[in-house]
């Protein structure tokens, strides 16, 4: 299975020589025989720590036809705010976006906190209905509804997930909930009278 793994600010890949060293893949980086560690200057310098793991879910869905592609895009545009509300209920996505691609394909790209199976189960509970609609137009889709066929959806999602070439993370270790708490703290500081 192609299950995502946690990524820090830099993604790591094993050295092709098989020596066991890692190489950093990212902007202006080259392979070197050192362990790849996330760069934590920004968050660490601010005195903020988190223990969260960011994971990627990157899927490209091939549509059955050009008409199916157009219908899918119309459905997604019409659901815009509803989809945002549903994703807020999941509570772990940092961002999520549907992207129209060439050759009658729709990309779904998201960064989320926590374990893959848990994310997909929460995701299915809150936004599965959108995928049930999309899967009517998708080649090779799993059975619907997603809630009823959760394991089949998890297997489909795991097999369809893509691995990025690189990934930048501005706030390693911070979960969506950590970020919300920091924002709330900052807001309460700004309304509290100065001591």
* Domain hosting residue 98, numbered range: 54-160
- Kindly state whether residue 104 falls inside one of the protein's structural domains: yes
Residue of higher predicted confidence among 192 and 46: 192
Ranking 14-18, 78-82, 118-122 by mean pLDDT, the lowest is 14-18
The total domain count for the chain is: 1
Q: Determine the Cα–Cα distance for residues 11 and 17; give it in Å rounded to an integer.
A: 18
Looking at residue 148, which CATH number applies to its domain?
3.30.70.100
Q: pTM of the entire structure?
A: 0.68
CA pair distance 122, 150, nearest whole angstrom:
10
Give the list of residues 6+ apart from residue 192 with CB closer than 8 angstroms, or none.
Answer: none
Quick: pLDDT tens for 34-76.
333 444 444 554 556 666 778 899 999 999 999 999 999 999 9
pLDDT of residue 195: 52
Angle at 96 between CA 116 and CA 29, to 5 degrees: 80
In a domain, 89, yes or no: yes
H helices present in the chain, as ranges: 41-45, 66-90, 116-135, 150-160, 176-191
Q: How far apart are CA 173 and CA 11, in angstroms?
A: 14
Q: What is the pLDDT of residue 47?
A: 59
């Amino acid at each position: 299975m192609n299950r995502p793994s946690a990524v820090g600010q830099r993604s790591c890949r094993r050295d092709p020589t098989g020596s066991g060293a890692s190489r950093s893949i990212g902007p202006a980086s080259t392979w070197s025989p050192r362990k790849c560690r996330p760069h934590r200057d920004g968050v660490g310098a601010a005195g903020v720590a988190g223990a969260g793991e960011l994971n990627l879910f990157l899927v490209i869905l091939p549509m059955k036809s050009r008409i199916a592609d157009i219908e899918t895009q119309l459905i997604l545009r019409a659901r815009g705010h509803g989809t945002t509300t549903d994703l807020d209920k999941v509570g772990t996505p940092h961002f999520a976006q549907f992207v129209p691609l060439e050759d009658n394909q729709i990309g779904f790209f998201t960064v989320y906190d926590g374990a893959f199976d848990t994310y997909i189960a929460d995701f299915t509970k809150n936004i599965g209905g959108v995928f049930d609609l999309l899967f009517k137009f998708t080649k090779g889709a799993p059975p619907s509804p997603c809630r009823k066929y959760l394991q089949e959806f998890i297997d489909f999602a795991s097999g369809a997930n893509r691995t990025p070439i690189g990934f930048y993370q501005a706030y390693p270790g911070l979960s969506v909930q950590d970020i919300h708490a920091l924002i709330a703290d900052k807001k309460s500081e700004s309304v509290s009278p100065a001591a």
